[in-house]
Structure 1
Amino acid sequence: MSKVSDEQLQHGRQHHIGRQLQQAYRDFNTRSLRKLRARGHAQLSATHLNIIPFLELDGTRINTLAERAGMTKQAASQLVTELEKSGYVTRQPDPSDGRATLITFTAKGQALLQDAHALKREIADEYRAKLGEDRWHALQDALSGLLLPET
């Protein structure tokens, strides 16, 4: 394997598909957070947006939440505490295991989910308008193709 220059290494570190996907993800989260705050969810942070999608509607154990979100149980617990203080979630005993606790959405949390559902459509419409219908569908197809399990 031939050695690459420092300039090539630096360029390669900044300009690759992983970085582009990361930037697109950040753009989506930034737009989402701005729109959620405009809908009255001022307490939310980008970090909260990284954990909320891993909460099931019927409740999720903290260890399951941490595993899904790729963080420690302590970090997940801290974020849940913040969401709980803001009124989005509550902790309840797990009916299937008295020692465990389920994190469930409150009425305010359900309203957040409704707002998030609407804004995802808004953001998709923004991206569609920017790319045009054909490129939008090509992007959707390409991403789906990347994410399908290999056989």
Structure 2
Amino acid sequence: MDFGILLGLSYQEFVRELRENLVTEGFEDTGRSDGYVLRSLLRGPMNISELAERLEISKQGAAQIIDDMQRRGYVERRDDPDDRRAKLLYPTARGHDLVQTAKKFHRRYEQRLVRAHGAEAVAVLRTLLGVIATDEGMADPRFHAFGM
């Protein structure tokens, strides 16, 4: 099988298991962009324009995502203390819980790989994926939210 297809299928399986875990943990209403948005906001509050710029989407698109996430209880808008006309976006307690639940899944997934294939194999895989990811893929603005 082609390497790219293996990478894609591996990612799809990881996401499938993550979503299944999130449902089990009570997060059955998560959206595709929730992780990107929440990790961005965990680095510090921002307004819609800043979020749109970080994710390289339109302000209207960012506003729609935030409206939906606010409705589902993952983010909230608060007055900007420096500009009364502006609102800043913050993750709610539920938003924090979602990110922590996802991070725990990530750690357990990697630990499971270590048990099945050994620490050295996982370290090599992690190094290789890091090399691949630091190329042009890391230019994707959504990953800037992860501090990369």
Q: Same fold (TM over 0.5)?
A: yes
1:38 to 24, 27, 43: 24
Match of 1:85 among 57, 67, 71: 71
Report whether the alignment pairs 1:109 with 2:92: no
In structure 1, the partner of 2:105 is 119
The answer to whether residue 49 in structure 2 is matched with residue 53 in structure 1 is no
Q: Kindly tell me: are residues 24 and 50 of structure 1, through their superposed partners in 2, closer, same or farther at Cα, counting changes over 3 Å?
A: farther
1:140 aligned to 2:141?
no
What letter corresponds to residue 98 of structure 1 in structure 2?
R
Aligned in 2, Cα 1:68/1:123: closer, same or farther, shift over 3 Å? farther
Unaligned runs of 5+ in 1: 1-13
SS in 2 for 1:51: helix
Shift of 1:84: 0.6
Distance in 2 of aligned mates of 1:115 and 1:60: 23
Q: For 1:35, what is the secondary structure of its paired residue?
A: helix
Partners of 1:74 and 1:130 lie apart in 2 by: 45
Cα separation, 2, equivalents of 1:41 and 1:138: 32
Structure 1 residue 136, shift from structure 2 partner: 0.5
Q: How many residues align?
A: 136
Structure 2 length normalisation: TM-score? 0.73
Please list every run of at least 4 consecutive aligned residues from structure 1 whose deviation after the TM superposition is greater than 6 angstroms: none
Aligned: 1:26 with 2:3: no
Identity of aligned residues (%): 26
Q: TM-score, normalised by structure 1?
A: 0.72
Larger radius of gyration: 1
